[in-house]
Structure 1
Amino acid sequence: MTTRPDLAMTLDAQLSAGRALRRSVARRQHALLEMPDRDPVAILEAQHRGRVPELVPVRVARMLESPFAFYRGSAAHMAHDLRDAPRTGIVVVACGDAHLGNFGFYASPERELVFDLNDFDEANVGPWEWDLKRLATSAVLAGREVGIDERTCREAATAAAHAYRDTLNRLYAHTALERFYFRVEADALLDRIDAGPDRKELRRAQRKARRRSSEQVLTSVATVGSGLDTRIVDQPPVLRHLGVASPEQMTGILRTYRESAASDVAVLLEQYTLVDAAFRVVGVGSVGLRAHIALLIGPSGEPLMLQPKEAVPSVLVTYGGMAFGDTRRRAVARPSRGVEGWRVVTGQRVMQAVSDRFLGWLEFEGRDFYVRQFRDMKGAVDLDRLTPSLLVEYTRLCAAVLARAHAQSPDGARILGYLGRSDRFDDAVARWARDYADQAERDHAALAAAVRSGRLAAVAT
């Protein structure tokens, strides 16, 4: 009898293989934080090479705002610190930056509001533990930032690991196809939250997301003129034309992008005319990368805003030592150009239950980009408004979504076998998250010292 080398393991075999891993990596070992020698400021300086120089001080200023703000921009530090830490060896298509701020609402193709991961700049193959530890640590730091007591912050970190494990149990009671189609509708979130201030806060976030459309964004981004004469107004340094691709170059970018976009989207875009584009500063970790917004106008004068954003190698590769690719055991079919943009888009499509129909990638003048629709019903819970109970419940929701994302990878059931039904891993992750949150605070202090000494410059916006 012959066996195909790529034959997938049965569920029982995966569960058994996961349980066996406990002998080599005990679940309690995940509590150990053994920091390597490194200079947190030097890691930032290395990341800044190749970014727009005048925007680097903006990134530094944003990371200076608080330890949590620093953490949101320091995925590279965490990948570096976890590189040699104990891990099971189970790899998944990982987010690479799964903190609380990178979950939120967006529109499905059916125009329903869904809740999921929403940032994939660092997506790549990676250890499942790294995503979960990053989420748990973010809960501790987010709680500390708004004055929530340490006991509740630890409870939130524990809830992340428990909800992740519990959701995997639920998901693997279903078939692979059922897991593939499973998604979290925004309205279903309310059923998990008791009536009161926390439910009101979720409703507030949902209402805000539903109001975001290209038309609404056009009113929030200052413009002049109307129809084909509409132009974006500079708001430096966050939004500006200086340094943006020329109209001819942007036309070329969008033309190349259409080659990777879905066929129906490419046909749709033939009805739109590019009228303006601007350089726009984006989230903490991406400040200084080349990100644009492109304003297109349709045949009835309706706006469509796309965002071409530079994609650089994932920190899971550059600092975590992971191989570029996916979890399949054979060569990965990938484009010959624009490969980093392709990586981001592929990671998003694998990990999200439903994805932006406008996703695509390209290479332009030696740099890789991906393209997405700009702010289409996108929104998130305001982390500055977290209450103790909402911190725990929201962290639990994010962990459940993360489990669904990891369960799409071929070896996901091994994770469930490894975790089992005890709370040993939950407690270990909570202890690790507390200790790594302390480290993030020390790194934030080191950044502040570097600015005071003149080693780095900071410019607030």
Structure 2
Amino acid sequence: MPSRAFAAEDDRAAGKAARALVPRRAHVAFGVPPRDPVEILEAQHATRDPELVPIRIGRMLETPFAYYRGSAAVMAHDLARDTATGFHVVACGDAHAANFGLFASPERRLVFDLNDFDEAYPGPWEWDVKRLAASLWLSGRNNGHSEGRCREAAEAAAGSYRTSLGRLASLGALERYYFQVEADALPKMARPAARKARARTSEQVLAKLATASDGGRERIVDQPPLVRHPRVRDMERMEGLFRDYRAVLRPDVALLLAQYELVDYALRIVGVGSVGTRCFIVLLRGPQGEPLFLQAKEAGASVLQTHGRVADVPWAVERQITTLGQGRRVVAAQRILQAQSDPMLGWVAGVAGEDGRRRDYYIRQFRDMKGSFALERLTAGESEEYGAVCGALLARAHIQSPGAAFIAGYLGSSSVYEESVARWARRYADLAEADHAALGEAVRSGRLPAETGV
């Protein structure tokens, strides 16, 4: 890898020069070709639990914003043909407004950051910004905000991304690396979510999800279809996977978890777009009988690769993201993009399922001081504030990639870029609403099954 010493100014200059080839106003161009969004979703179902697919569709039918949350593959397909400078970062891949949240740092402080990395992969920086901006427009419409206020929220996100990235690009690499947003620094609207997040512990989860069995040991309670034990419960095999997971952790965390005993595990549905992938919650007990819940979530290939058709990435970090399995990819991207990450974040690869398929998983703590904003309750002003915070955090994530001062040079100091992105976001919000209607028609015609209210 060539020397990066004193390269920031060269990167800025290269970004500024790129305006001649891809003007910032060009990002308003909207050229999504005709496609069948339902067909793209159907293709994803081939590897998912068929019993859970109707729940996924039912959740996506709730609102256009809910559809948008579950249709990252559709948007990646659309963005593959979109205006871009060609500069790649480690991208989140699904940076919509609901994928930012609160969680505990290793020091047990409450921080706010990106919190979903299932689709993370090296890709164009523009894709994350547009996914965030369009999500804010859709969320605003869902809340009854005027089109003008939706535009302001989208512009606030893209504008905050521009200004924050410019500031961060002027700092040293270590300063950028340590930058984070703690809950105490968030606007007043964050306080209710922060209070709820601080109350979320393994003890609270235990009270909701587990009960004593006849043998006196806790057992996770089946709550079909959301929580259920697998048809074959193999504790010996799960203990082996638990050992494999500990082997990839830092020595101090591995030693900590070696003191815990595996008690039970069960399948548990999560999210919107993730419904149908295999996701487990695992109950452990420590030496004083203290509970600990982990979550093991299936990791498939990123939609940026499968639908966005991202191929060659011209720098060394690509190897850190794309090798050693999909669970390792998610973990590596999370550690890069988050200012603070769960110390228990790990992975296992090639796990044989009940259907004989081998799958990769990533593992993290379950509900450890985790929280999110009720986006459906945000006022127009709060939505604009929220978008600005999310845009700043997205900039912090992207600036970790080598050469990202290129983006700062490209964006410059004017508002041209955010105005263009906001206009694009409105048109994509229109398209997402049309896709949501097409999904509803597919259900009414019997093409897709749906189970609502779950």
TM value normalised by structure 1: 0.94
Instruction: Indicate the residue corresponding to 1:372 in structure 2.
Output: 364
What CA distance in whole angstroms lies between the structure 2 residues aligned with 1:301 and 1:97? 38
What CA distance in whole angstroms lies between the structure 2 residues aligned with 1:145 and 1:244? 42
Write the mapping of 1:73-84 to structure 2, written as runs, cut at 5 A. 73-84=70-81
Instruction: Indicate the residue corresponding to 2:315 in structure 1.
Output: 328
Amino acid at match of 1:182: F
Amino acid at match of 2:272: V
Amino acid at match of 2:315: R
Confirm or deny: 8 A CA contact 1:227 1:301 kept in the other structure.
no
Q: Decide whether aligned partners of structure 1 residues 330 and 225 sit closer, same or farther in structure 2, where only a CA change above 3 A counts.
A: closer
What CA distance in whole angstroms lies between the structure 2 residues aligned with 1:353 and 1:376? 17
What CA distance in whole angstroms lies between the structure 2 residues aligned with 1:119 and 1:444? 23
SS at match of 1:49: helix
1:345 lines up with 2:337 in the alignment: no
**More deviation, 103-112/7-16:** 7-16
Write the mapping of 1:57-72 to structure 2, written as runs, cut at 5 A. 57-72=54-69
Instruction: Indicate the residue corresponding to 1:210 in structure 2.
Output: 198
Instruction: Indicate the residue corresponding to 1:386 in structure 2.
Output: 378
Instruction: Indicate the residue corresponding to 2:391 in structure 1.
Output: 399
Count residues with an aligned counterpart: 447
Confirm or deny: 8 A CA contact 1:52 1:288 kept in the other structure.
yes
1:433 lines up with 2:421 in the alignment: no
Shift of 1:327: 6.3
Write the mapping of 1:144-293 to structure 2, written as runs, cut at 5 A. 144-190=141-187, 199=188, 201-224=189-212, 229-243=217-231, 246-293=234-281
SS at match of 1:457: coil
Shift of 1:220: 2.5
What CA distance in whole angstroms lies between the structure 2 residues aligned with 1:93 and 1:223? 42
What CA distance in whole angstroms lies between the structure 1 residues aligned with 2:84 and 2:368? 37
Shift of 1:38: 1.2
Instruction: Indicate the residue corresponding to 1:450 in structure 2.
Output: 442
What CA distance in whole angstroms lies between the structure 1 residues aligned with 2:412 and 2:214? 60
Confirm or deny: 8 A CA contact 2:8 2:403 kept in the other structure.
no
- Deviations 1:126-166 (CA, angstroms, capped at 9, x unpaired): 11100000000000011111111111001000111110011
Amino acid at match of 2:32: M
Cα RMSD, aligned residues only: 1.8
Write the mapping of 1:296-335 to structure 2, written as runs, cut at 5 A. 296-323=284-311, 328-329=315-316, 332=319
**More deviation, 59-68/261-270:** 261-270
Instruction: Indicate the residue corresponding to 2:86 in structure 1.
Output: 89
Confirm or deny: 8 A CA contact 2:210 2:221 kept in the other structure.
yes
What CA distance in whole angstroms lies between the structure 2 residues aligned with 1:165 and 1:43? 32
Shift of 1:107: 0.3
Shift of 1:92: 0.4
Instruction: Indicate the residue corresponding to 1:132 in structure 2.
Output: 129
Instruction: Indicate the residue corresponding to 1:119 in structure 2.
Output: 116
What CA distance in whole angstroms lies between the structure 2 residues aligned with 1:310 and 1:93? 20
Confirm or deny: 8 A CA contact 1:19 1:417 kept in the other structure.
yes
- Deviations 1:422-455 (CA, angstroms, capped at 9, x unpaired): 1111110000000000000000000000000000
Shift of 1:50: 1.0
What CA distance in whole angstroms lies between the structure 2 residues aligned with 1:182 and 1:166? 15
Indicate which of 4, 9, 14 corresponds to 1:12.
9
TM value normalised by structure 2: 0.95
SS at match of 1:231: strand
What CA distance in whole angstroms lies between the structure 2 residues aligned with 1:394 and 1:330? 30
Q: Decide whether aligned partners of structure 1 residues 330 and 392 sit closer, same or farther in structure 2, where only a CA change above 3 A counts.
A: closer
Shift of 1:323: 2.9
Instruction: Indicate the residue corresponding to 1:421 in structure 2.
Output: 413
Q: Decide whether aligned partners of structure 1 residues 54 and 150 sit closer, same or farther in structure 2, where only a CA change above 3 A counts.
A: same
Amino acid at match of 1:424: V
Shift of 1:64: 0.4
Q: Decide whether aligned partners of structure 1 residues 411 and 148 sit closer, same or farther in structure 2, where only a CA change above 3 A counts.
A: same
Instruction: Indicate the residue corresponding to 2:355 in structure 1.
Output: none
Confirm or deny: 8 A CA contact 2:320 2:329 kept in the other structure.
no
Confirm or deny: 8 A CA contact 1:209 1:377 kept in the other structure.
yes
Indicate which of 44, 47, 51 corresponds to 1:47.
44
SS at match of 1:53: coil
Amino acid at match of 2:286: G
What CA distance in whole angstroms lies between the structure 1 residues aligned with 2:307 and 2:438? 20
Confirm or deny: 8 A CA contact 1:105 1:378 kept in the other structure.
yes
Percent identity among equivalent residues?
58
